[in-house]
A and B are shown apart, each in its own frame.
Chain A
Amino acid sequence: MGADGAPWRKVLYERQSFPDNYVDSRFLEELRRNVGVRRYRYWAVVREAGLVAQQLSCVAVVLTLWSYMDQGQLTPATLLLGSVLCALLGYGLYRALGRGHSGERTRCADLQSATIFMAFTFGFSPVLKTLTESVSTDTVYAMAALMLLAHLVSFPYAQPSPPGSLSLNAALFASVCLASRLPGALYVFAMMTCAILVFALWPCLLHRLRDVAPCTFPWAAALVSLGGVAGLASLSPGGALLLTLTLLALTLLCPLLLLWLQRHKDNIHGPWDEAEIHEDLSRILRGKD
């Protein structure tokens, strides 16, 4: 109560009988904490973390294949054959899953793109082969490692299809670097085809898999992770162990960390927040038609 008995009001236009630094019991009553904060469930987060793990394993798979080719234990013809088989299988699956989708490209257009791409890669593979000849091998490896790291960091995990331009470019740059150290032009062609398959097309298929048949997604991710670990194990058991530990930390420990940190979240909202415009105002500009 003020001097004249009137209760305090949160208005400026009235001269009230309270001092200017008066603090009412209603002070901060409109304060809201953690509005709209998501409550995560552990296993749901683990599922989503599977996407990160499988992307890391994809990198391991490509590196394993490259290593085998580099050592001459894998001929480019075998790799190409395997790639084509995988591509056909994957494409069939992709079409089968996308039956309900509208605005699909026709099969003919897909074939055309694939042909153009294969022809160009094949034609340019001698050029790619000699591209980094004047650069020392160590530099090439360091560059490839850096670019693969950039690929993993910039990969759009929230919306993996189509893969983000920065992550895709980084991955292809790394593949070109590695491929240029292989013994022949056909090797380069096989390596690039394989890289495109893993870095460009596989995320699209995986994304569709997650959309249409969510229950199969964790299995797919686990399969890829297992493939990556197994491939690396045949080359270097120590590396495989490290990869396994990393994958386990990514999928099991990091979600735990997120859940633990989420409890400490303290977000403040109140009347001072900037209002957000929720309506779609672009339709007004798009016109009355």
Chain B
Amino acid sequence: MGQRKRARLKGTLASGTSDGAAAGLHGSVKHNVCMVSDFFYPNMGGVESHIYQLSQCLIKKGHKVVIVTHAYGNRKGIRYLTNGLKVYYLPLQVMYNQSTATTCFHSLPLLRCVFVRERITVVHAHSSFSAMAHDSLFHAKTMGLTTVFTDHSLFGFADVSSVLTNKLLTVSLCDTNHIICVSFTSKENTVLRAALDPMIVSVIPNAVDPSDFTPDPSRRDDTKITVVVVSRLVYRKGIDLLGGIIPNLCLKYPDLHFLIGGEGPKRLVLEEVREKYQLHDRVRLLGALEHKDVRNVLVQGHIFLNTSLTEAFCMAIVEGASCGLQVVSTRVGGIPEVLPDDLITLCDPTVSSLCEGLEMVIARQRAGTAPHPAAVHAHVRTLYTWMNVAERTEKVYDRIATERVLPLDQRLRRLRARCGPVAGSIFAFVAVLDFLFLLLLQWLVPDSLVDVAMDASGPKGLWAQNSSRDKNIRPKYQKSVGSS
């Protein structure tokens, strides 16, 4: 076992150096990337901002990026965002929780049209909850495009629903070229769920735009201590624990206030607690917050509290720390990997442990030994940047560009070998049907007859050529890539 691991380790180092060499050689290789996910603006959340920020940074680095998602109400068709980032809002039926229905086939004509029109070379799908992401992976492999998948969430193994979704993930990822996870815990989870070779799974964390989350100590009231919570008010975020913490600490500390931003079914719990203990003046529920308002809420507090029961990365605590707050959080999922020990107090997911952690931080705050918000911010802003995420993602693209996409026969064999005799055979059959459907579409409208879209971003991007600002920026980034 040890021998094998060491051999694997050597292999990693070797491939690491060859990676670097490849990047040096093909530093100028630009990719046409298509990001696919059901989750994108106007929907709000971690996945949405990840896709947007990553796309923007890739465009700045000279790649061409388009985003494909489903139509959100009246928002359908093609939209352009900042820097010529093109978004396709495809007319697909939404089933549940903003995820589209999947039949494995109906989205092929639309997605093929986009992939061909935009001359896509890499299909990058996001989030395992998104049916559209899995569909696009399936079709992209049928069309012979290289594929990348980013997993943003953790999943258990115990119940029936997770057994089924894990099987689907196995099918979807067994022939995907590369997988990206947002934390090491998430990588372990994904490798186990989809029975993958860990070597094709990279860990690239999320990031936070530090200029969006700057501290402002003048906005907080230092005569009292304010604990801020910004989260959806749902069970998985541990709102029941929060409901236990509030009365415990409010009885002990008369100058303690809670500021809670977010909306969800568990709001009832907090309202009941507030009613029961007459805490209306000390526990403020702000309701749903827009992304731009989050910073204004964060800077009003001294302590940021996160009570999540499961979390792959947790951007909220980075945002909190970036605003200069003392962070107290549960020790679950990937959270222990995110912030260094001097920026975060980790507790077990119980009321008593969280209260203990909070009391420690309150004592530090009262004694005045807590680090200054500006110092905390200066530390955090060096930890995670989107440009770093983009550089590391670019390396993944460079690496898979040299890899071969499995031809149909090998893909069928891989499906049967990795996904079990029953599910493997079924999906091998579906893959064959998908291939025949693609042939039909290619016969109806040959690739050569499909219009080629104007490039707004990318090497021949019209927007980039027109604006002198981008020209100034690009050489600078290329330099930084060369020097690193």
Please give the residue numbers on chain A whose beta carbons come within 8 Å of chain B beta carbons, in ascending order.
10-15, 18-25, 27-28, 30-31, 267-279, 281, 284-285, 287-288
Check A19–B272 contact: CB distance below 8 A. Answer: no
Residues of B in contact with A, size category: 35 or more
Q: Give the chain B neighbours of A285 by CB distance below 8 A.
A: 243, 269, 272-273, 276
The answer for the CA separation of A13 and B380 in the assembled complex, in Å, is: 9
Residues of B within 8 A of A275 (CB): 238, 309-310, 330, 332, 349
A287: nearest chain-B partner, CB-CB: B276
B95 contacts chain A at the CB level, 8 A cutoff: no
Q: Indicate whether A281 sits within 8 Å of B309 (C-beta atoms), given known contacts A23-B12, A275-B330.
A: no
A21 touches B201 (CB 8 A): yes
Q: Contacts A23-B12, A275-B332 hold; do A12 and B337 have CB atoms under 8 A apart?
A: yes
Q: Which of A11, A13, A284 contacts B243 (CB 8 A)?
A: A284
B1-12 CB mask vs A (1 if < 8 Å, else 0) is: 010011011001
Nearest CB of chain A from residue B124's CB, rounded to whole Å: 15
The answer to whether A20 and B199 touch across the interface, beta carbons within 8 angstroms, is no
Counting from the closest, the 4 A-B pairs by CB-CB distance are A19-B16, A20-B202, A275-B349, A272-B189
A163 CA to B471 CA in the complex, in Å?
77
A12-B309 in contact (CB<8A): no
What residues of A have a CB within 8 angstroms of the CB of B15 in the complex?
19, 21
- Bits for B256-289, please: 1 = Cβ < 8 Å to A, else 0: 0000000000000100110011000000000000
Query: By DSSP majority rule, is chain A's interface helix, strand, loop, or mixed?
Result: loop
Task: For B248, give the chain A residue with the smallest CB separation.
Answer: A284
Expressed in whole angstroms, the Cα–Cα distance for A285 and B268 within the complex equals 11
A272 lies within 8 A of B333 (CB): yes
B16 touches A274 (CB 8 A): no
What separation, in Å, do the CA atoms of A268 and B337 have in the docked complex? Answer: 21
Which residues of B come within 8 Å of A, CB atoms? 2, 5-6, 8-9, 12-13, 15-16, 19, 154-158, 178, 183-186, 188-189, 191-192, 198-205, 236, 238, 240-241, 243-244, 247, 269, 272-273, 276-277, 309-310, 313, 330, 332-334, 337-340, 349-352, 383-384, 388, 392, 395-396
Listed A/B pairs (5) with beta-carbon separation below 8 Å = A23-B9, A23-B199, A24-B9, A274-B236, A278-B350
CB-based nearest A residue for B275: A285
A271 near B12 with CB under 8 A, answer: no
- Return A3 CB to nearest CB of chain B, in Å: 8
Inter-chain contacts of A14 with B (CB < 8 A): 340
A72 CB to closest chain B CB (Å) equals: 51
Min CB–CB distance B281 → chain A (angstroms): 18
Q: Are A22 and B12 in contact (CB under 8 A)?
A: yes
In the complex the two chains form, is A279's CB within 8 Å of B244's CB? Answer: yes
Residue from A15, A18, A274 having most chain B Cβ neighbours under 10 A: A274
Cα distance, A288 to B269, chains bound together (Å): 16
CB of B335 to closest CB in A, whole Å = 9
Query: Measured between alpha carbons, how far is A28 from B338 in the docked complex, in Å?
Result: 18
Contact B156 A274 (CB under 8 A): yes
Pair B203/A20 contact, Cβ less than 8 Å: yes
**How far is it, in angstroms, between the C-alpha of A287 and the C-alpha of B154 when the chains are bound?**
35
Who on chain B is nearest to A23 by CB?
A: B198
Shortest A16–chain B CB gap in Å is: 10
Knowing A19-B19, A23-B9, A23-B198 touch, does A272 contact B243 (C-beta < 8 A)?
no
Q: Is the CB of B247 within 8 A of A284?
A: yes
| CB of B379 to closest CB in A, whole Å | 9
Q: Which of A12, A15, A269, A276 contacts B184 (CB 8 A)?
A: A12
Partner of A27, one of B198, B200, B349: B198
Given A12-B205, A272-B333, A275-B330, the answer on whether A18 and B185 have CB atoms closer than 8 Å is no
Q: Is the CB of B349 within 8 A of A272?
A: no
A279→B351 contact, CB < 8 A = yes
Chain B residues closer than 8 Å to A276, beta-carbon distance:
309
Most buried by B among A12, A13, A18, A284: A12
For the complex with contacts A15-B388, A269-B157, 14 further pairs of A-B residues with Cβ separation under 8 Å are: A10-B337, A20-B203, A20-B204, A20-B396, A23-B12, A28-B192, A271-B333, A272-B154, A272-B185, A274-B156, A276-B309, A285-B243, A285-B269, A285-B273
Known: A281-B244, A284-B244. A31 touches B188 (CB 8 A): yes
* B241 lies within 8 A of A277 (CB): yes
Q: How far is the CB of B252 from chain A (nearest CB, A)?
A: 13
Query: Could you tell me the distance between the alpha carbons of A21 and B197 in the complex, rounded to whole angstroms?
Result: 10
Q: Provide the bound-state CA to CA distance between A18 and B15, in Å.
A: 11
Residues of A within 8 Å of B383, CB to CB, are 13
Residues in A neighbouring B241, C-beta threshold 8 A: 277, 281
Question: Known contacts being A25-B9, A267-B157, A271-B185, is A277 close to B273, with CB within 8 Å?
Answer: no
Across the interface, name the chain B residue whose C-beta is closest to A17.
B16
Complex Cα spacing A141 to B476, Å: 85
Q: A20-B392, A271-B332, A281-B244 are in contact. Are A13 and B338 (CB under 8 A)?
A: yes
B199 touches A267 (CB 8 A): no
Which residue of chain A has its CB nearest to the CB of B182? A12
- Which residues of chain A come closer than 8 Å to B204, judged between CB atoms? 20
**What is the chain B residue whose CB lies nearest that of A20?**
B202
Contact between B202 and A21, CB atoms less than 8 A apart? yes
Q: Which residue of B lies closest to A21 (CB)?
A: B202
Nearest B residue to A29 via CB reads B188
Q: Chain A nearest CB: distance from B329 CB in Å?
A: 12
- The distance from the CB of A144 to the nearest CB of chain B, in whole angstroms, is 33
**Least CB distance, B332 to chain A, in whole angstroms:** 5
A31 to B157, CA, bound (A): 12
Nearest Cβ on chain B to A247's Cβ, whole angstroms: 30
B12 contacts A21, C-beta separation under 8 Å: yes
- What B residues does A274 contact at CB under 8 A? 154, 156, 236, 309-310, 332
Shortest distance from the beta carbon of B353 to any chain A beta carbon, whole Å: 10
Contact call B157/A268, Cβ cutoff below 8 A? yes
A10 and B184 in contact, given A21-B200, A272-B156 (Cβ under 8 angstroms):
yes
B156 touches A277 (CB 8 A): no
| Across-interface contacts of A24 in B (CB, < 8 A) | 9
